[in-house]
């Protein structure tokens, strides 16, 4: 899966990244179900180990255009994980209290503690995406944020947080298909928002904003993964595989028992 | 499952409730796996409907002696539920900041919002349990709390919260077996705490405290369920069944689509 990472400093042009790619899995969609189930089964004990060891913190950041599949990743990749060990934080339009603070204030409140895995469904990256596209703050303000975000994430990493950032890469046609699918299915219509159509008109601006964010905030301590996400099954496999490997690389261990269990009598 | 509910005002004597009971399921432990999986599969779309409708709030409170299975319920009953729609709040020993506020302060911060399901792993009931047993506040203070808790829960219910409270009922022998099992299994030893042995000596006091809590806080708006919990599989079935029925009784509906989907063109 190394192909979906890139070196810090690399200038990203999303046109060079194929959202339809499925190069790392031969089996196709049907075979992917078993592969994903296997990943779910690997993830569960790793998460329990994370919780038991109470040493590392894990932060998974999901970003992508509307309909790119952030909710779907949470549902499918984290299915079967103990809800006690995973928390999802969704960052929507900021409240007045949140707006009265710096943009990282609400984010910091949601970062994981020891033994915890937190998934950000959107994140502080919106402060260099939607905020930039709609000019909610002047350029002089959002321009500083790439550096600030890198510094903020470095603090989290220094203090024991494994950070993985996934950009779910779909194209304009795929978004159209997904929006149309929501309209056509009475069970999915509630997910359709006219606001999504409005945002869709800003696709080129969002693409440029994402390219700059990916280029400037891809660090050794908080790397980005550009996930080909036109095929949902492939997107899930890529994220599940990278997550399992990253957790394995922590070489976690159960805490040693303090004393000799045989000497303890339960009355 | 009505047998595990009781009328408000009923004086509870836990010796009258059999923790080994499995009366509501004929199949035994092996057949229970399929039954639980079926419940998991029913729970998932109900939770999605809860989220989509964004109208009701759901609060599940889990209480019980150490090793009674609170963590196990979260793992097994809520397996497969979208982590985005379920949040677990664990209430441990209060921090200095929490202690500097009233005992419901930290609890209120964790109550569910519209469309959300929150599981309390322990709760404000500890403030009439451990706090009473160890006399952390004077009797004149904790005695008022039954009324306060009823009033607090009534506010939550009035404002749209479905509240279900489960007391996981095990006996002293079963706790011994479970503590011993933790000691005997190197994969489980990390869960063993010498503090649990100390608390075990207060079993009669905890029993009396639970009996009074169950007796005085069983209300029409926030009923208690006394779950026979010596058999883990049965405990999971009881809670899963009651939860699914309660969610079904909300008669939730997907939000109606505003306008005619056929008139919308995606460009």
- Please report the pLDDT score of residue A265 as a whole number: 92
SS (H, E, C) A93-137: CCCHHHHCCCCCHHHHCCCCCCCCEEEEECCHHHHHCHHHHCCCC
Query: Is B179 within 8 Å of A266 when comparing Cβ atoms?
Result: yes
Mean per-residue pLDDT over chain B, rounded: 96
- Residue A156 to residue A163: CA distance in whole angstroms: 8
What string of pLDDT tens digits covers the 267 residues of chain A?
Answer: 899 999 999 999 999 999 999 999 988 899 999 999 999 999 999 999 999 999 999 999 999 999 999 999 999 999 878 999 899 999 999 999 999 999 999 999 999 999 999 999 999 999 999 999 999 999 999 999 999 999 999 999 999 999 999 999 999 999 999 999 999 999 999 999 989 999 999 999 999 999 999 999 999 999 999 999 999 999 999 999 999 999 999 999 999 998 899 999 998
- Residue B2 to residue A66: CA distance in whole angstroms: 45
- B40-62: average pLDDT: 96
Query: What are B41's two structure tokens?
Result: 């599969």
Which strands make up the sheet holding B161-169, listed edge to edge? Answer: B86-90, B117-121, B57-64, B161-169, B224-228
Name which of B65, B83, B88, B91 to mutate to probe chain A: the one with the most chain A Cβ atoms within 10 A of its Cβ. Answer: B83
Nearest to A117 by CA among A229, A256, A255, A244: A244
- Please report the pLDDT score of residue B181 as a whole number: 96
Nearest to A205 by CA among A131, A151, A261, A152: A131
- Residue B28 to residue B237: CA distance in whole angstroms: 11
Query: Is A257 within 8 Å of B192 when comparing Cβ atoms?
Result: yes
CB burial string B38-65: b at 16+ within 10 A, e below: ebbebbbebbbbbbbbeebbbbbbbbbb
Q: Does A151 touch chain B (CB under 8 A)?
A: no
ipTM of the complex: 0.91
Share of chain B above pLDDT 90, in %: 92
User: Which chain A positions have a beta carbon within 8 Å of B190's beta carbon?
Assistant: 52, 254-255, 257
- Residue A1 to residue A165: CA distance in whole angstroms: 14
Query: Is B90 within 8 Å of A84 when comparing Cβ atoms?
Result: yes
Residue A4 is given by DSSP the state G
User: Which chain B positions have a beta carbon within 8 Å of A194's beta carbon?
Assistant: 264
Counted residue by residue, chain A has a size of: 267
Please write the tens of the pLDDT for every residue from A9-37: 999 999 999 999 999 998 889 999 999 99
Instruction: Using CB atoms, pick whichever of B84, B191, B197 lies closest to residue A266.
Output: B197
Please write the tens of the pLDDT for every residue from B107-145: 999 999 999 999 999 999 999 999 999 999 999 999 999
Nearest to A25 by CA among A262, A237, A266: A237
- Please report the pLDDT score of residue B222 as a whole number: 98
Across the A/B interface, how many CB contacts are shorter than 8 Å? 97
- Residue B241 to residue A242: CA distance in whole angstroms: 36
Give first-to-last CA distance, chain A, whole Å: 53
- Residue B22 to residue B87: CA distance in whole angstroms: 29
The three-point CA angle B28-B32-B34 to 5° equals 140
- Residue B58 to residue B50: CA distance in whole angstroms: 9
3-state SS, residue A63: strand
- B21-25: average pLDDT: 95
Helix (H) or strand (E) holding B59: strand B57-64
Share of chain B above pLDDT 70, in %: 100
Query: Is A189 within 8 Å of B119 when comparing Cβ atoms?
Result: no
- Domains in chain A (CATH in brackets) are 2-8+28-251 (3.40.50.300)
Q: Does A44 touch chain B (CB under 8 A)?
A: no
- Please report the pLDDT score of residue A210 as a whole number: 98
Q: Does A79 touch chain B (CB under 8 A)?
A: yes
User: Which chain A positions have a beta carbon within 8 Å of B201's beta carbon?
Assistant: 267
Nearest to A43 by CA among A93, A82, A1: A82
3-state SS, residue B122: coil
- Residue A142 to residue A127: CA distance in whole angstroms: 7
* Separation in Å, CA A136 to CA A93, A131, A211, B158: 12, 5, 19, 38
3-state SS, residue A168: strand
- Residue B82 to residue B205: CA distance in whole angstroms: 39
- Please report the pLDDT score of residue B206 as a whole number: 98
- Please report the pLDDT score of residue B259 as a whole number: 86
Give first-to-last CA distance, chain B, whole Å: 53
CB burial string A219-253: b at 16+ within 10 A, e below: beebbbbbbbbbbbbbbbbbbbbbbbebbeeeebe
Structure pTM? 0.94
């Amino acid at each position: 899966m190394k192909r979906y990472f890139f070196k810090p400093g690399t200038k990203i042009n999303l046109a060079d990244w194929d959202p339809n790619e499925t190069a790392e899995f031969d089996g196709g969609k049907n075979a992917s179900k078993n592969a994903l189930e296997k990943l779910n089964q690997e993830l569960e004990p790793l998460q329990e180990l994370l919780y038991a060891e109470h040493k590392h913190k894990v932060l998974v950041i999901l970003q992508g255009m509307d309909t790119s599949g952030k909710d779907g990743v949470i549902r499918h990749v984290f299915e079967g994980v103990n809800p006690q060990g995973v928390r999802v934080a969704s960052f929507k339009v900021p409240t007045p209290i949140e707006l009265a603070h710096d943009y990282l204030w609400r984010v910091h409140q949601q970062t994981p503690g020891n033994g915890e895995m937190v998934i950000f469904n959107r994140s502080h990256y919106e402060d260099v995406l939607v905020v930039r596209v709609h000019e909610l703050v002047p350029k002089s303000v959002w321009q500083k944020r790439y550096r600030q975000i890198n510094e903020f994430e470095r603090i989290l990493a220094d203090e024991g947080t494994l950070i993985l950032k996934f950009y779910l890469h779909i194209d304009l046609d795929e978004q159209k298909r997904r929006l149309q699918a929501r309209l056509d299915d009475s069970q999915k219509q509630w997910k359709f928002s006219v606001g999504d159509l409005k945002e869709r008109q800003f696709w080129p601006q969002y693409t440029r904003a994402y390219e700059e964010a990916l280029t400037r905030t891809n660090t050794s301590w908080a790397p980005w993964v550009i996930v080909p996400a036109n095929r949902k099954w492939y997107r899930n496999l890529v994220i599940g595989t990278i997550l399992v490997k990253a957790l394995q690389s922590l070489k976690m261990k159960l805490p040693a028992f303090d004393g000799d269990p045989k000497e303890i009598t339960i009355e």
